[in-house]
Structure formats: structure tokens, C-alpha cells
Amino acid sequence: MTLTLYRFGPIRDRVWAFAQMGIARPSMARLPGCAFWKLMGSGSGEGFTPVPNTAVYAILCVWPDADAARTGLRARVFQRYADRAEEVCQMSLRPTSARGAWSGRAPFAAAGPPAPNGPLAALTRASVRPGRMLRFWRRVPDISARIGDNPDVRLKIGVGEVPFLHQVTFSIWPDADAMARFARTSGPHAAAIRAVRDGDWFAEELYARFHVTDATGTWQGRPITEVLA
């Protein structure tokens, strides 16, 4: 899988990026070798919030192998985004575990345990039931602040296809122990997990972990290799 993050500056470029959520879909559908893709906007704050971040957009792609990824990422659609963006960060990720569905599909085929060294990524995606939406978003500020306060997390972002209803959280951690400590300790995150299970908040959900195999570009003004170190 590859996840590419783009940060846009002037309003004209932000408007262009927002329009691409619809305009770029035919180009994405024609990407050679791409088995699954999503164009996503982002939320503001640490982790994610219901307030959109008009500057940051993401493209997620699933490829059969590294050669297909290298070929596909040379497509003109990615270059158009890069030409407009002030900052581009691209990460290659190998799935190590995955359960659940995204748009009715299981896009990530786990390729074995993570490598002994190097950062790990966690991705959670959910379709929130409309009737549960207010309760879900009331939980978000506490969870978002908790992610932001965690000294272990290297990168965190909330993205999604449809505001409020389709949400993705993506974070990178130095190792599995740090990731597990955040997920399992008491606090807003653990309480939200219990509420989700008890209240049937999600119509669809997916949980996946990845080994970060490569990262290029910059994020928040720093080389992404430094961010993840």
C-alpha cells in the first residue's frame, strides 16, 4: 500500500484539491495495476476532528507488488497533485494484519509479521451509522487530544472520503509495544472502544497494521525520515 499526503497553501490550490475529490476519480480508476484506491480529505487538530483541514489531502492506493507501485505512482494524476502542493509525503507500507471491510472489500492482504526494526503504522477505518454520529463525534476531541499528547506517536492524521460519516485514523509508532500501550490503557480511547462495541456505532469497520518500508518527502517542514526516526 502507498499513502501519499499533500499539503496545499494558497486558497486557489486548496479549491483545486477539493475539486479533485470528484474530478480525479476517472484518472484513479484507470491507474495501471492499482487494486484499490481512495481520495480523501483531512480533519484538523491532532488525530482527527469534525472540523475539516482544507490544506491537506491524501491518496491511498493498494498495489500487487513494489514494481506495480513504482509504475502506477508515475501516473500524471500524482504529478498534478505534486505540482500544486507545497509539501508532499509518500509512504510505502506492507500490511502485517488486517480485519474488516472497506467499501465492502478487504483491500489489505497481510504479508506476515512486521520486521524486527522500523516504525509501524495503524489504520482504522469506519463508516459511522448516521444515528450514532453525534455520540461518535462527542468522543473525538478527547481521543484526538490523547493522541497528540502521546510522546511515542511519530505521525498522526485523520482522513476520510465523506465528512462525518466515513473516517480513517492513521498513525505511526516506533514499535508494537508503544502502539499497544495507547490502544489498551484506560482513558478516552479505551472508553470509546467499549462504547463502539456496546452501541453498534459502525456500519462497517476495518483495522489494519503495517510495517513502514519506505518514506520520502517532507511533512510539517521536516524530512519524513526524520519525523519517523
pLDDT, averaged in runs of 10, over the chain (229 residues): 97 97 96 95 71 92 95 97 98 94 92 75 83 62 55 86 79 84 59 57 86 95 91
114, 178 Cβ separation under 8 angstroms: no
143, 47 Cβ separation under 8 angstroms: yes
What pLDDT does 46 receive?
Answer: 56
What pLDDT does 178 receive?
Answer: 81
Can you give the residue ranges of every domain in the chain? 2-228
What pLDDT does 210 receive?
Answer: 94
In DSSP terms, 36 is beta-bridged to 62
- Return d(Cα 178, Cα 83) in angstroms, integer: 36
What pLDDT does 142 receive?
Answer: 53
What pLDDT does 186 receive?
Answer: 46
- Return d(Cα 53, Cα 159) in angstroms, integer: 9
Task: List the alpha helices (DSSP H) in 50-205.
Answer: 66-72, 76-84, 133-149, 176-184, 188-199
- Return d(Cα 98, Cα 36) in angstroms, integer: 15
In DSSP terms, 38 is beta-bridged to 60
What pLDDT does 188 receive?
Answer: 47
What pLDDT does 133 receive?
Answer: 65
What pLDDT does 104 receive?
Answer: 93
Domain 2-228 matching CATH 3.30.70.100: the answer reads: yes
